[in-house]
A and B are shown apart, each in its own frame.
Chain A
Amino acid sequence: MKRLALYLLGGLLLGGIIHIAVVLLVPRFATRDAYEALARLGPDDIFHAVPAQGTDGPIAGLDPRMAYAACRFSLAERPLHIRAPMTGDFWSAAVFDDRGNNLYSLNDRTAGRRDLDLVVATPLQLIRLRENPQPALDNAIVVELPMNAGFVLLRAFISDPTLEAEVRKALSEADCTAG
């Protein structure tokens, strides 16, 4: 009996390890997560309009009063450089890694300007950028993030249905591979 209790205790301990492993591995193997689902919209390195409503959209829980565009990217070869005209009203941009962690975000007020000019680089790429400054990046917001792949989600507020076309047009001009 004593031995059985010992085995049961061992089983519980092992169960604890399995519990931790499952929780840590879910983001990696989930197929409904935003990064995986965004691949359905089309190729990487291009901004795609993301539907905010409906159940078959790639990202759940988006605000129907906003217009969205997303771009999947990889930092394996070069830093990410985004340029987007954006709008005169509230807009924001968020950088997620491929596990869905929100690593960096800003809005129009914190950006201090109407358009978005954002560079995301790994620590190593940033050192290289500092050694060889590129004039094209002079006005860009440069962010150092220790990540490999992920996606950028742009959102822009549609204050009135009559402005929807204008907002969507601004988002459609977003460039995920600016020079």
Chain B
Amino acid sequence: MRLLAYLLVAIAVAVATGLGTAWWMLSAGPPFGAVHRGAWVTWPKAGRGDADPYFRAVEARRGVAPLGSGEGLTFLATRDDSGAPLDAACIYRVEGTMPPTRLWTLAASDTEGRGFDNPAGRVGFHSREILRREDGSFAITLARSVQPGNWLPLGSGPMLLTLRLYDTPLTESGVEDAKLPAVVRVACS
């Protein structure tokens, strides 16, 4: 009788720790291999066949198909440079220069990846349609209301910024030292 009770306790502990830790490690993001650059995070191993099992499990649950090493690199930001969560009701400035890349796109969305509705139908910018300063740097203003210069319309709720670099040498090396644009909160109403 005592043996049975001990066995049941052992099995309960096994199931609870096994499933619990698996769910915990898969629910946030891929737990290993992240490279943080300022507000941005990327998983350089995403597009290679040797991604770790945790990464594969997270990707399968989310139903995403990561960019391959021959295609480019995806950077995500859910917080600004000061560490505060991005809020689509605030005004932000994404400013600086991009790492070497043939083409980039920047999109603002809710955390599920849905773009914000706006009359202009603008969900992001790409590298060829952006207004630059004389030194090649740029500033994009993200706000709900119309802004001068590069304006990306926002909505409300938690926000995700997705920066995709296409055909970039960073997929081979140098992502740890890459210089990405700053994400600065300008104002919050």
- Interface residues in chain A, defined as those with a beta carbon under 8 Å from any beta carbon in chain B: 3-4, 7-8, 10-19, 21-24, 26-27, 30, 32-34, 37, 53-55, 58-66, 90, 92, 94, 96, 99-107, 109-110, 153, 155, 157, 159-160
| C-alpha spacing A30/B72, complex, angstroms | 26
Q: Count B-side interface residues using an 8 Å CB cutoff.
A: 58
CB neighbours (8 Å) of A104 from chain B are: 68, 70
| C-alpha spacing A17/B14, complex, angstroms | 9
Q: Is B133 an interface residue (CB 8 A)?
A: no
| C-alpha spacing A13/B14, complex, angstroms | 7
- Interface residues in chain B, defined as those with a beta carbon under 8 Å from any beta carbon in chain A: 6-7, 9-19, 21-22, 25-26, 46-49, 51, 53-54, 56-57, 59-72, 74, 102-103, 105, 107, 112-115, 123-124, 126, 128-129, 162, 164, 166-167
CB neighbours (8 Å) of B19 from chain A are: 18-19, 22
Beta-carbon contact of B70 and A105 below 8 Å: yes
| C-alpha spacing A21/B59, complex, angstroms | 17
- Closest Cβ–Cβ distance, residue B28 to chain A (whole Å): 14
CB neighbours (8 Å) of A11 from chain B are: 9-14, 17
What are 29 pairs between A and B in contact, CB < 8 Å? A3-B6, A4-B6, A11-B11, A14-B11, A19-B17, A23-B25, A30-B61, A32-B60, A54-B114, A55-B112, A59-B65, A60-B63, A61-B64, A63-B164, A64-B107, A90-B103, A92-B68, A94-B68, A94-B70, A100-B60, A101-B49, A105-B67, A107-B70, A109-B167, A110-B70, A153-B65, A155-B71, A157-B126, A159-B129
